[in-house]
Structure 1
Amino acid sequence: MRKFLLILLLLTGLKSHPQSENNDKVYFSEALSMHLPKYEQKAKVAYRFDDYNRGRFLFDSLVRNCLKNSYMDNFRFYTLRKKPIQLYDFKKPVYLITYASWCIRGKGEIPAINKLASKYKDQIDFVILFWDKPEMVKGLAKEFDKNINVVYVDERKNSDPFVIKNLKHSLGLPTCFLISESKKIKDIRRSIYLPYNATAEESFDLNYEFIEEGISSHLINNQNQEVAEIF
């Protein structure tokens, strides 16, 4: 009888553990709705007076203190063949960048992303999310390596939840999300600030180092850490 009760308690504990973990999860949409208004209020003041250092500080503080380690919500977008796909369909860690056709891509940024996508294709899913019409995205997709998943959301038909609207309108474009295999946000970054008059080669090298540092620090190494935490 005692052995039976002991086994029953162990089984109950194993079943309840994942449930308690899920209850403790904070999703990106929740964290954003709680902290975005205060951030926007302060950021508007900073940029009104052209205080870009203050603006960057506020963004980094929002990410570090409020958004980092939240879980990205599952949301839907479309492939170039207009096939619906969801974020959680990607099983590897995700390197997600949000763009729009009118964004001015940083010098050397796309070549650096293309090379890193080829290098880490077996370990990471690279996703470029455009806020554009599908016909516009098809033309832009030619700039990216075949190992990059180019997807889009057409805002004329956007009926998706809060999170996907605010991916564009709250944090600006382009913005990079480093998302672990479990869909935990390990970091959120903006493009690197290049030195004035940097050459194409220098721009490529700086972008490559910046992006790879994020990948190695937050996606590759943390992937092993997450597996250890699960067990």
Structure 2
Amino acid sequence: MKKFLLLFLLISGFCAQSQEENSTKIYFSQALYYHLPKYEAKAKRAYRFNDYERGSFLFDSLVNNCLRYTFMDNFKFYRLNQKPVHLYDYKKPVYLITYASWCVPEKGEIPAINELAEKYRDKVKFVVLFWDKAGTARKLSEEFNKKVSVVYIDESQNSDPFVIQNLKHSLGLPTCFLISENKQIMDIRRSIFLPYNTPQKVSYERNYESMEEGISSHLTRASHEKEMATLLSLEQ
């Protein structure tokens, strides 16, 4: 009886969560439209007075309270062969990292991305988005392994929606988005910034741990939800 009650509570909780998500589906661009102006005003004031701790707190609050669990818009970017591709063309969960040529990654960040892309190649698609021209993105792509999909957006030729501008100009670079299979944003993180003289091994370990923690947590949650869905279908 206790096992049946526990199963009932788990299934009920899953159903309630699914219904809530379906009835309150909000897109990333919508959340930015409503919450970004207030965040920017407070963040500019914090950074004006070099209050980086406050600035970091404001960013985390924006993510946790306003952006997490929204749904990423289906925007367009380009492969290195200049052929267009949309975010929703990727059927797996996506780990999206935004860069620009003038934004230098941590010395251990790219090796960590390459290692994780290899480790999770069957479960997560790693996408590195450069805000640059095709030639620049092609040259920068040489540092990434073949499991990482390197794409670009040339802003001088961009005519895509509101979300494109804010992916770059509002949250800063580099920024990482963990996006579920159904394109729900599970987490948004800024890359780690360590002191310049940090050894590469330490930089690699810190970056690897930070990214891996978010990915493994999401995959665990996704696996649990699928198990609950299977139990529900069997009960029906």
CA 1:66 to 1:198, structure 2 compared with 1: closer, same or farther past 3 Å? same
Q: Provide closer, same or farther for how the CA distance between residues 39 and 114 of structure 1 changes in structure 2, counting only shifts above 3 A.
A: same
Q: How far apart in 2 are the matches of 1:103 and 1:85?
A: 24
Which digits, 9 at most, give the CA deviation of each residue in 1:88-140, with x for residues without a partner?
Answer: 00011100001101001112000010011011111000000111000110000
Q: Distance in 1 between matches of 2:136 and 2:50?
A: 32
Task: Find out whether 1:180 has 2:180 as its counterpart.
Answer: yes
Equivalent pairs, count: 213
| Aligned counterparts, 1:162-173, within 5 A | 162-173=162-173
Aligned alpha-carbon RMSD (Å): 1.7
Aligned mates of 1:167, 1:226 — CA distance in 2: 29
Matches within 5 A, 1:2-151: 22-151=22-151
> Given the alignment of the two structures, is residue 225 of structure 1 paired with residue 228 of structure 2, yes or no?
no
Q: CA deviation at 1:36?
A: 0.1
CA contact 1:112–1:204 (8 Å) conserved in 2:
yes
SS in structure 2 at match of 1:173: coil
Deviation at 1:177, TM superposition (A): 0.3
2:4 is matched with which residue?
A: none
Q: Is 1:211–2:223 an aligned residue pair?
A: no
Q: Residue 13 of structure 1 corresponds to which residue in structure 2?
A: none
Unaligned runs of at least 5 residues, structure 1: 1-17
Residues 78 and 152 in structure 1, CA contact (< 8 A), matched pair in contact too? yes
Quote the offset at 1:221 in angstroms. 1.2
1:195 shift after superposition = 5.1
Q: Counterpart amino acid of 1:154?
A: D
Q: 2:132 and 2:103 mapped to 1: Cα distance?
A: 11
State the shift of 1:196 in Å: 6.1
Q: C-alpha distance in 1, partners of 2:228/2:114?
A: 32
TM-score relative to the length of structure 2:
0.86
C-alpha separation between the residues in 2 aligned to 1:64 and 1:102? 28
Percent identity over the alignment? Answer: 64
**1:22 CA displacement:** 4.6
TM-score (norm 1): 0.88
**CA 48–20 in structure 1, closer or farther in 2 if over 3 Å, else same:** closer
Give distance in 2, aligned partners of 1:100 and 1:186.
23
What is the distance in 1 between the residues matched to 2:24 and 2:188? 21
Measured after TM superposition, the shift of residue 201 of structure 1 is 0.9
Q: What runs of 5+ residues in structure 2 fail to find an aligned partner?
A: 1-17
Instruction: Name the residue aligned to 2:14.
Output: none
Q: CA deviation at 1:224?
A: 1.5
Q: Which amino acid aligns with 1:181?
A: E
Match of 2:36, SS state, is helix
The question of whether the paired residues in 2 share the 8 Å contact of 1:180 and 1:222 is answered with no
Deviations 1:43-94 (A, max 9, x none): 0001111111111100000000000000001010000001110000001110
C-alpha separation in 1, matches of 2:134 and 2:103 = 16
What secondary structure is seen at the aligned counterpart in 1 of 2:123?
coil
Which one-letter code corresponds to 2:154 in the other structure? D
**Equivalent in the alignment of 1:6:** none
Q: More displaced, 84-93 or 206-215? A: 206-215
Please name the residue that 2:9 is paired with. none
Matched residues in 1 for 2:107 and 2:20: separation? Answer: 46
Find the aligned partners of 2:104 and 2:63 in 1 and give their Cα distance.
Answer: 23
